[in-house]
Amino acid sequence: MLSDAEIAAVRLLGDRVAIRDTIHRYCRGVDRHDVEMIDSVFFADSVDNHGDVLCYRQEFAAWGNRLHENISMAHAHNITTQLIEVSGDEAAAESYVIFVLKRKDGSTIHIGGARYLDRLERRGGLWRILLRRVALEWRCDVTQEQAAHRLSTLQAGTWDRQDGSYALL
Amino acid sequence: MLVRDKRILELLDRDAIDTALATYCRGIDRHDVTIINTAYFPDAQDNHGPYRDIVSKGFAEWGNALHAGKTRAHMHNLTTRWVELQGDVALTDTYVLFALLLKDRDEVELGSGRYLDRLERRDGSWRIAARRTTIDMRMTADARVFFAASGGYLNGRWDRSDLSYQRPLSLSPEQRATLDKKGPAPLRENVAVAHAWEVMTPDPEAQLQWMVERRAVAACIGQSVRGLDRGDAELARSAFASNAGIVSGQLTTPYGDYIRNELAMAEGEDAGQARHITTHNARVSADEAVAETYVIEMRRRRNGLSVWAGGTRMLDRLSRQDGRWKIDQRTLVADWELDSARVSFNPADGYLRSMRGTGDPLQLDARDQAPR
């Protein structure tokens, strides 16, 4: 049997895992243009602030998907350095992200770095982002005369349930 | 000690080590001397290119001056991790993808390196006791796009006015007013609907065991990647089940052939390979697991003329056999790739280099002999 102190430690570790998972699931949702999955990291009354964009959940996923469709043919949001502070039912998280977009010309690769600054809350046992603000740090374009082709024999990602990842999870 | 369960103690140790490593990045990227120094013990030593000395003799100030002199912004992204716990000591290998927005021209420099650390627990607190830093590749790219359109984004700052210090994180009064003008706020969602991947475990024992397995699954995937980068075929092989296959496009390759091919590339065309693990989602039950893991692969060509980078996802099916997690099948998906001739790697910059096998700085004993 776990002692009270041990149970408290398990709960705290569990909170930290759940918060990490929420932020990573966001990336999966965005990269697959999966509105339902994107929505699953926010509450209905959560607010997202990406630059000039300031909106509640109901508008956010559509805005993000449209933005990515307009400027790219594929993209990946890579979470790297993460710091999480939990205090009861509230948490603060800073997550670094490297976003990479394949531009519509098929050869230019756009890479940028930002920080997701999140205020999270636990309601009914589930952690969700209550407020997200984004600090953009750098962006660049790698132009190539020809697209690189080491990976051309691999399956390419898609923006629907045809993507290989849905066969797994 | 009220917590005696070994599984909990190990998870707590790993979490604290992870936090210490991330704290370093946060401190450096915010130019916050106090935070940088929190990541180390005062007598820690850092072998960091030109800086090879005790950290408390001015490492933080040196690092901040270096970054302020060369850049307008920077991020130190921690990716692939390897942690060996040995009681109150931990040996870690953490990959870093660093990005510098240069000051003297509109370019970003991207680099790949590793932090090879010995952390210790002293008085219950984990910090870095000795560090060796490698830089293994660097390239530059055109950053004019950053200055062309701001999109109204906040940028980071090098002082406590950076938004990351704000508690609780909030909107400005002007933003709040803008939001209110758009219409009434949606009703407060008191009870969210669980996502299919979310595990609700009222039983703490079950939650603990689930976390132990989650970590083991991530470690198995990490092992498969680390074995390839370090030229350790045995380590890479040990992550796979005996009949495991690698699906790349139309082709399914036995995992042994796949490992051999990747290692052959490293002996041939590539002078260095670094597979940076980033976004990771997984579902784990008692004996079966599935995971999607993003990788940013970087390879420096042996001729020194170009750097190749690619974004892939590893879609893994795993199972637990005799208590050990193994990958049964890996499907590789490609999202992007690039080849760049704008290499800015300077072989004489004074930094240590990653090597394959026993020459790797990880193997050198000095890491284990920090001054006390």
A108 DSSP 8-state letter: -
Q: What is the pLDDT of residues A36-78, one digit of tens each?
A: 999 999 999 999 999 999 999 999 999 999 999 999 999 999 9
pLDDT for B365 beyond 80: no
In a domain, residue A162? The reply is no
Residue B357 region by backbone torsions, left for phi larger than 0, else alpha for psi between -120 and 50, else beta: left
Helices (H), A32-155: 35-39, 57-71
Q: What is the pLDDT of residues B318-335, one digit of tens each?
A: 999 999 999 999 999 999
The most confident of the ranges A145-149, B69-73, B302-306 is B69-73
How far does the CA of residue B299 sit from the closest CA of chain A (Å)? 11
Q: What is the pLDDT of residues B76-90, one digit of tens each?
A: 999 999 999 999 999
- Looking at residue B1, what is its pLDDT? 58
pLDDT for B367 beyond 60: no
Which of A87, A98, A138, A152 to probe by mutation at the B interface, max B CB count within 10 Å? A138
The DSSP-derived string for A2-16 is --HHHHHHHHHHHHH
In a domain, residue B21? The reply is yes
How far does the CA of residue B196 sit from the closest CA of chain A (Å)? 9
Last residue of a domain, one of B134, B150, B166: B150
C-alpha to C-alpha distance for B352 and B148, rounded to whole angstroms: 37
Residue A83: how many other CB atoms lie within 10 Å? 16
Residues B144 and B252 in one domain: no
C-alpha to C-alpha distance for B123 and A162, rounded to whole angstroms: 52
Average pLDDT score over chain A: 97
Nearest by CB to residue B315, choosing from A77, A118, A165, is A165
Confidence at A16, pLDDT banded by 50, 70, 90: very high
Residue B1: strand, helix, or coil? coil
pLDDT for B366 beyond 80: no
Domain count, chain A: 1
Among A142, A147, A164, A73, smallest CA distance to B293 is for A164
pTM of the model: 0.97
Nearest by CB to residue B336, choosing from A80, A94, A100, is A100
Residue type, B53: D
Inter-axis angle of helices B6-30 and A4-31, to 10 degrees? Answer: 50
Last residue of a domain, one of B116, B135, B150: B150
Q: How far is CA B289 from the centre of its chain?
A: 22
pLDDT for B368 beyond 70: no
Q: What is the mean pLDDT of residues A12-21?
A: 98
Confidence at B364, pLDDT banded by 50, 70, 90: low
In a domain, residue A108? The reply is yes
Nearest by CB to residue B249, choosing from A117, A148, A153, is A153
- With CB atoms and an 8 Å threshold, state whether B77 touches A133: no
pLDDT for A103 beyond 50: yes
Which CATH number covers residue B116?
A: 3.10.450.50
Whether the Cβ atoms of residue A17 and residue A81 lie closer than 8 Å to each other = no
- Looking at residue B371, what is its pLDDT? 39
Q: What is the pLDDT of residues B254-307, one digit of tens each?
A: 999 999 999 998 888 888 899 999 999 999 998 999 999 999 999 999 888 899
pLDDT for B184 beyond 70: yes
Residues B239 and B324 in one domain: yes
Q: What is the mean pLDDT of residues B197-224?
A: 95
Residues B265 and B328 in one domain: yes
C-alpha to C-alpha distance for A116 and B139, rounded to whole angstroms: 25
C-alpha to C-alpha distance for B150 and A51, rounded to whole angstroms: 8
Residue at token pair 């102190």: A5
B282 contacts on A by Cβ (under 8 Å): 169
Residues B116 and B235 in one domain: no
- Looking at residue B224, what is its pLDDT? 97
Q: What is the mean pLDDT of residues A126-147?
A: 95
In a domain, residue A23? The reply is yes
Nearest by CB to residue B279, choosing from A74, A78, A141, is A78
Whether the Cβ atoms of residue B96 and residue B76 lie closer than 8 Å to each other = yes
- With CB atoms and an 8 Å threshold, state whether B311 touches A100: yes
pLDDT for B370 beyond 70: no
In a domain, residue A67? The reply is yes
Range of the domain at B255: 204-346
- Looking at residue B347, what is its pLDDT? 84
- Looking at residue A19, what is its pLDDT? 98
Pairing of strands B270-284, B89-102: unpaired
- Looking at residue B270, what is its pLDDT? 85
How many contacts (CB atoms, under 8 Å) link A and B?
A: 315
Domain count, chain B: 2
Q: Please list the residues that pair with A76 across neighbouring strands.
A: A100
Q: What is the pLDDT of residues B25-43, one digit of tens each?
A: 999 999 999 999 999 999 9
Contacts of B166 (CB under 8 A, 6+ apart): A117
In a domain, residue B370? The reply is no
In a domain, residue B173? The reply is no
pLDDT for B94 beyond 90: yes
How far does the CA of residue A162 sit from the closest CA of chain B (Å)? 12
In a domain, residue A158? The reply is no
Residue B64: how many other CB atoms lie within 10 Å? 18
Which CATH number covers residue A42?
A: 3.10.450.50
In a domain, residue A143? The reply is yes
Range of the domain at A46: 4-148
Q: What is the pLDDT of residues B107-140, one digit of tens each?
A: 999 999 999 999 999 999 999 999 999 999 999 9
Q: What is the pLDDT of residues A70-101, one digit of tens each?
A: 999 999 999 999 999 999 999 999 999 999 99
Inter-axis angle of helices B204-229 and A4-31, to 10 degrees? Answer: 50
Residue type, B49: G
